[in-house]
Amino acid sequence: MLRTIPRTFAAINKPSAFSGLRYKHTLPALPYAYEALEPYISGEIMKIHHAKHHQTYINNLNAAEEKLGSAFKGNDVNEEISIQSAIKFNGGGHINHTLFWENLAPGNKEIPKPSGELLKEIEKTWGSFDQFVSKFNTQTAAVQGSGWGWLGYNKEFKRLEIATTSNQDPLKPTTGLIPLLGVDVWEHAYYLQYKNVRPDYLNAIWHVINWKTVTDRFTKAHK
């Protein structure tokens, strides 16, 4: 389950207590070592992906929010509008990666499967777990350029759906679906190990999916 994104407080020189606080996003710690997902995702990729790429999204999000705060104070609507794309891109990168780390876990030689109500819903929707994986991989491999593959929950129609998003667009604000499982298909997530063969990465990642986390998200979403 996506937890509240950790934040810290930094003082700035403003007269009121409220304006004297600035909220800063921070990099969430991983619940496993960088090398724990090997051989399916290398420790080198995990370290660069988490410590460099995710940290960069956070740094840029903090900077964009600081600029947005200044624009609000200056009543500069043009500047407020111009900053929105940076907030969407970097904020989406922060949200997406936080979800991604949490729905991964140390690997298994056999591909793990969900159980209970989630498995029943997957089988009802796609016929079998294997057919779901095949459909997910096909749609996600077809993402043009950079983006994400998702298993989401549609609360309106009470059903599971596979979706893709471009760049760092977050699933819920973009589609309305509640994210249950997200897979990063930016090349930085796999290129050092799988080169440009995205389907091989997608086949491998099922060995390290944390179905407990995905099931917890499903349980909360469909209540």
CA 2 to chain centre: 9
Residue 5 has pLDDT above 50, yes or no: no
Residue 135 has pLDDT above 80, yes or no: yes
Q: What is the largest CA-CA distance in the chain?
A: 62
DSSP code at position 113: -
pLDDT digits (tens, 9 = 90+) for 167-205: 999 999 999 999 999 999 999 999 999 999 999 999 999
Q: Is 49 annotated as a binding residue?
A: yes
Phi, psi of 163, deg, nearest 5: -145, 160
Residue 80 has pLDDT above 90, yes or no: no
Range with the poorest average pLDDT among 7-21, 44-58, 65-79, 101-115: 7-21
Q: How far apart are CA 10 and CA 31, in angstroms?
A: 26
- Report pLDDT for 151: 98
Percent of the chain with pLDDT over 70: 90
Q: Which structure tokens are listed for 65?
A: 């929010």
- Per the listing, tokens 């904020």 go with 91
pLDDT digits (tens, 9 = 90+) for 6-37: 443 333 333 333 243 457 999 999 999 999 99
pLDDT digits (tens, 9 = 90+) for 98-131: 999 999 999 889 999 999 999 999 999 999 999 9
Who contacts 92 (Cβ-Cβ below 8 Å, separation ≥6)?
167, 168, 169, 170, 173
Neighbours of 218 (CB within 10 A): 24
16, 36 in Cβ contact below 8 A? no
Q: Quick one: which of 63, 51, 52 has its CA closest to 90?
A: 63
153, 165 in Cβ contact below 8 A? no
- Assessment of whether the complete model's pTM goes beyond 0.75: yes
| Most confident by average pLDDT, 6-15, 63-72, 134-143 | 134-143
Number of residues that make up the chain: 223
- Report pLDDT for 223: 81
Residue 208 has pLDDT above 90, yes or no: yes
- Report pLDDT for 61: 95
